[in-house]
Amino acid sequence: MADIRITGRMVNFTRLIFDTNDHDAIRQQLSAMMAETSYQGALVVLDSTVEQELIALIQLLISLDLQPMGVIDGILSEQAQAIQFPILPSDRPLQRIKATKEQVVAAPTTASPAHDNTDAPSKVTQQHTTVSHITSYHDEILRTGQCLVQDHGDIILNAGINSGSEVIASGNIHIYGSVRGRVIAGAGGNSAARIFCHSLEAELVSIAGTYCVADDIPTEFIKKSVHIYLNDQQELEFSVLQF
């Protein structure tokens, strides 16, 4: 019997792009992002547009309960090579476009009044509004080389997406047109996210890191109106939408 076995596992990597080497600012921004989403324990690949100390950055991310897995070939490559940290080839970045419209659902949070030892009346309680969910609406076809991303909610496209384009949402994705690119719902680990599309011809579909490429999509669902979700075994399920 062989001592080494090769198996496959579907995993989801999040790419972090750093435009600053101020680690206090990075900690503050990542902490705020992680408070609103489910990125704890996420596998992350590091990319940077500025010089910075890689080991310190890795330690910072680990302290935030993220798992650095490698760097994108570029500014950080020399440091990564010195510590034998994995280096991933760079790719041609997609053009991130802005949605036609966004609907923000905000939840008020109450700040407790300050307490002191005087008999003076307590200060008035203040309410701060924080964004809890955003729905992005897009009315145009997503063209090759374009990417539409919503980190805090759902995406609804009223047209299709071409091959070589990408849609990414932390929540659900609805596409009322032909899907020929990549559709990634539940980014960050939301296993309750779902994908709905009018005509499925995708290069890849993914929910919470579980993915299926074009060659593995069951043929009976190709060019059909389809609902995609994760079952209890965290496997992708496809079902034809009935109208």
114-134 core/surface letters (b: 16 or more CB in 10 A; e: else): eeeeeeeeeeeeeeeeeeebb
Mean pLDDT over 23-29 rounds to 93
Q: Is residue 9 a part of any domain in this protein?
A: no
Least confident of 39-43, 48-52, 57-61, 123-127: 123-127
Residues 205-209, mean pLDDT to the nearest whole number: 89
| Strand partners for 239 | 227
Sheet arrangement for strand 182-185: 95-96, 146-150, 166-169, 182-185, 204-207, 210-213
In this structure, are strands 182-185 and 236-240 parallel, antiparallel, or unpaired? unpaired
CATH of the domain at 80: 3.30.70.260
* Residue 61 CA neighbour count, 13 Å, CB half: 25
Question: What mean pLDDT do residues 106-116 have?
Answer: 54
- Cα gap 186→234, rounded to integer Å: 12
pLDDT at 114 over 50: no
**Res 230: pLDDT:** 92
Confidence of residue 189 (pLDDT cuts 50, 70, 90): confident
Query: What is the tens place of the pLDDT at every residue in 28-56?
Result: 988 887 776 666 778 889 999 999 999 99
Q: Compute the average pLDDT of residues 142-164.
A: 92
pLDDT band at 239 (very low <50, low <70, confident <90, very high): very high
Query: Domain check: are 99 and 207 in the same one?
Result: yes
Residue 99 and residue 62 share a domain: no
State pLDDT tens for residues 85-109. 999 888 767 888 899 988 888 766 5
Q: Which of 88, 120, 144 is the last residue of a domain?
A: 88
Instruction: With beta carbons less than 8 A apart as the criterion, state whether 216 and 226 touch.
Output: no
Tally of structural domains, the chain: 2
Cα gap 237→76, rounded to integer Å: 39
For the cut 80, the answer to whether the pLDDT of residue 203 exceeds it is: yes
> What does the block give as tokens for 215?
């060659």
In a domain, 121, yes or no: no
Segment 148-165 shows an average pLDDT of 93
Residue 37 belongs to domain spanning = 14-88
